[in-house]
């Protein structure tokens, strides 16, 4: 008996065998399969909530999100036992992707997991249902208020709309504080310092290097933004009088024509070059040509098919939401969806027949065509090289929406001569260049919240400090810590990282310049349209098909021949405008006082 017991004891290993690369591969195969299934369920539930906001769909979306997030966190925690292995590059890349799967990882405690999921759904649905009700029987949606900012030139009406939308966000403040705490718990459980560290770890460089890259690119184009800001400020003073702007040089945000001052394009009529007469109004042309919502999207699709891409699947047209329904609450914020790995592509928009939505449609379809291009990649490589690439893709197409293109598709009769170039470039700069500083501040604010640099009692103060420093804007009226103005921007309550949009604004010009070179374009860069060029389409498609399987410099090189984020393509595109702005700003103060 003693001999038998001794033999049994000797047969039991004193410790578990060390994991091997083969074990790591088997684990990863299982993780990809599990998360793909849960991700599909979450996508369907999220779509149901976004297109029909009610208690039941919120519950379903929250439950599905919780299931996915909890499993992703569990798998990511389990994966830590393979960290010391020397893994093949592709497998190591998948392990990092697993850790970065969710933007707010679930904490280890199931109760905390449930709370995090509930808070996330509450924040997003609160934004989606948000309305400004000046009287109990008269409520205005964000669409309504944006229409005021877009078209009114009454400062009181503008301020009322601007301030009114910000009444939806103060209740979010304590929820957002708790969200940040819970998200940090999950991030630390995965080995990150906090959620800011996690967010900045997906760019094939250290978080510190990534932040420095953004600042470097911003400095490259800052003189162009400052020149545009000075010119716009002077023209607004001409419209609203010197009392509208103080000596600090900051522009009141509600006068910019945009709810967050992230674009100045809606005040083009106020800042257009003197004696300028635009050659055409695209919104008017769309309406005159009897474009409806469907034709707007079909036209966007046709640009991609002209480059050699296949048409969108029939289910896209059956399942997308293109208009605001009258019978239910929905999230109208435009977004593109890949519900089932390239087999079920959709967009969600409340389309209006105007130039802005015409361009937005090209942008959103860029997501869909990108999603389908990498559908054959393994689960963890089904994404863009980094998230900025995804946002840039559609805008690269939109840059090609030039007068030459509009004439080709019959929206204008003749292409304006070079005498109208400043008008066109100024209009584009009011959108693209005005956005650049805003593209930085959203995540700069959140990174400081996640790291604890910005305390909950200073949320609003920190937000406006960044707005003043980078955008040169200020609030339309006094703001206090009773307000929560960051929450009035969709991407904050929706927990959508925003640095991607800053990156995209630079990448799109790099992509565009490279495709125009392939197209053989000569002359000013801003006049190029590669519509119908299948060689340019293949160049773009080859990069898209890589998904996230390679470091982003490799993907950038495939599309452009370059390996670094570089704003010189923006400067080349807007060079004629910069010279014109410098001439207009002679004798004027350029810049502002942020403090």
The set of catalytic residues is 364, 491
**What is the torsional sign of CA 300, 305, 309, 314?**
positive
CA 231 to chain centre: 27
The whole-angstrom separation of Cα 175 and Cα 445 is 17
Q: Which residues contact 321 (CB under 8 A, 6 or more apart)?
A: 51, 330, 346, 347, 348, 349, 350
Strand, helix or coil at 140? strand
* Cα–Cα distance for residue pair 197/449, rounded to 1 Å: 12
**Sign (positive or negative) of CA dihedral 358, 360, 363, 368:** negative
CB 481 within 8 A of CB 458: yes
Return phi, psi of residue 221, to 5°: -105, 5
**Cβ within 8 Å of residue 386, ≥6 positions away:** 202, 203, 204, 500, 503, 548, 552
List C-alpha distances in Å: 115 to 136, 401, 490: 32, 45, 21
**Residues 394, 367 contacting (CB under 8 angstroms):** yes
- In the Cβ-directed half-sphere of 168, how many Cα atoms lie within 13 Å? 27
Quickly count helices (H) and strands (E) in the chain. Answer: 24, 6
Q: Which tokens sit at 425?
A: 């470039």
Give 515's contacts (C-beta < 8 A, 6+ positions apart). Answer: 396, 400, 530, 533, 536, 539, 540
- Give buried/exposed letters for 365-376 (b at 16+ CB in 10 A, else e): bbbbbbbbbbee
Please, what is the angle between helix 55-78 and helix 21-50, to 10°? 170
Which DSSP category does 321 fall into? B
Residue 18, phi then psi, degrees to nearest 5: -65, 140
Nearest partner of 100 among 195, 207, 206, 24, judged by Cα: 195
Continuous H helices in 241-311: 268-271, 282-288, 293-306
Which residues have a Cβ under 8 Å from the Cβ of 15 and sit 6 or more positions away? none
Distance, CA of 476 to CA of 154 (rounded, Å): 13
| Burial of residue 521, with CB atoms counted within 10 A of its CB: 0-12 exposed, 13-18 middle, 19 or more buried | middle
- Chain centroid, CA 422 distance in Å: 28
164 HSE (CA, 13 A, CB side): 22
> Residue 8, SS3?
helix
- Dihedrals phi, psi of 153, to nearest 5 degrees: -125, 20
Of 481, 425, 477, give the one whose Cα is nearest residue 170.
481
């Amino acid at each position: 008996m003693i001999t038998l017991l001794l033999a049994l004891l000797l047969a039991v290993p004193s410790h578990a065998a060390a994991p091997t690369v083969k074990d790591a591969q088997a684990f990863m195969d299982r993780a990809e399969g599990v998360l793909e299934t849960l991700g599909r369920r979450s996508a369907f539930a999220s779509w149901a909530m976004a297109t029909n906001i009610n208690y039941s769909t919120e519950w379903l979306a929250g439950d599905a999100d919780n299931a996915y997030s909890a499993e992703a966190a569990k798998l990511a925690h389990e994966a830590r036992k393979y960290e010391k292995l020397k893994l093949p590059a592709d497998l190591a890349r998948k392990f990092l992707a697993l850790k970065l799967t969710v933007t707010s990882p679930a904490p280890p405690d199931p109760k905390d997991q449930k709370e995090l999921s509930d808070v996330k759904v509450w924040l997003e649905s609160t934004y989606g249902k948000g309305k400004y009700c000046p009287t109990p029987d008269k409520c205005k949606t964000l669409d309504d208020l944006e229409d005021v900012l877009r078209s009114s030139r009454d400062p009181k009406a503008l301020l009322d709309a601007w301030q009114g939308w910000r009444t939806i966000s103060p209740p979010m403040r304590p929820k957002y504080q708790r969200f940040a705490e819970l998200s940090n718990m999950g991030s630390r459980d995965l080995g990150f310092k906090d959620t800011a560290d996690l967010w900045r770890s997906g760019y094939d460089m250290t978080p510190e290097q990534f932040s420095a890259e953004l600042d470097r690119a911003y400095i490259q184009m800052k003189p162009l933004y400052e020149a545009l800001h000075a010119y716009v400020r002077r023209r607004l003073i001409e419209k609203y009088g010197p009392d509208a702007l103080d000596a600090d040089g900051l522009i009141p945000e509600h006068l910019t024509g945009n709810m967050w001052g992230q674009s100045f394009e809606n005040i083009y009529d106020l800042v257009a070059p003197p004696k300028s007469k635009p050659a055409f109004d695209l919104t008017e042309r769309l309406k005159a040509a009897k474009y409806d919502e469907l034709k707007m999207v079909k036209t966007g699709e046709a640009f991609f098919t002209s480059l050699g891409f296949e048409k969108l699947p029939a289910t896209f047209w059956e399942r997308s939401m293109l208009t605001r329904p009258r019978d239910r609450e929905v999230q109208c914020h435009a977004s593109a969806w890949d519900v089932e790995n390239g087999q079920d592509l959709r967009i969600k928009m409340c389309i209006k027949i105007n130039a802005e939505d015409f361009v937005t449609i090209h942008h959103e379809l860029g997501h869909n065509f990108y999603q389908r291009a990498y559908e054959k990649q393994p689960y963890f490589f089904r994404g863009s090289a980094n998230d900025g690439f995804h946002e840039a893709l559609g805008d690269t197409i939109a840059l090609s929406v030039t007068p030459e293109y509009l004439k080709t598709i019959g929206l204008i009769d003749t292409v304006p001569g070079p005498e109208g170039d400043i008008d066109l470039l100024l209009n584009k700069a009011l959108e693209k260049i005005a956005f650049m500083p805003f593209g930085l501040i959203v995540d700069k604010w959140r990174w400081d919240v996640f790291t604890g640099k910005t305390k909950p009692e200073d949320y609003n103060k920190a937000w406006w400090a960044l707005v003043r420093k980078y955008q040169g804007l200020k609030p339309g009226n006094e703001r206090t810590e009773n307000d929560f103005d960051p929450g009035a921007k969709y991407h904050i309550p929706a927990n959508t990282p925003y640095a991607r949009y800053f990156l995209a604004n630079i990448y799109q010009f790099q992509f565009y310049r490279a495709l125009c070179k392939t197209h053989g374009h000569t002359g000013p860069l801003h006049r190029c349209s590669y519509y119908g060029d299948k060689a340019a389409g293949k160049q773009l498609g080859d990069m898209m098909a890589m998904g996230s399987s390679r470091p982003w410099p490799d993907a950038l090189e495939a599309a452009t021949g370059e390996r670094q984020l570089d704003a010189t393509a923006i400067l080349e595109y807007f060079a004629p405008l910069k010279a014109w702005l410098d001439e207009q700003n002679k004798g004027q103060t350029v810049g502002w006082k942020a403090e």
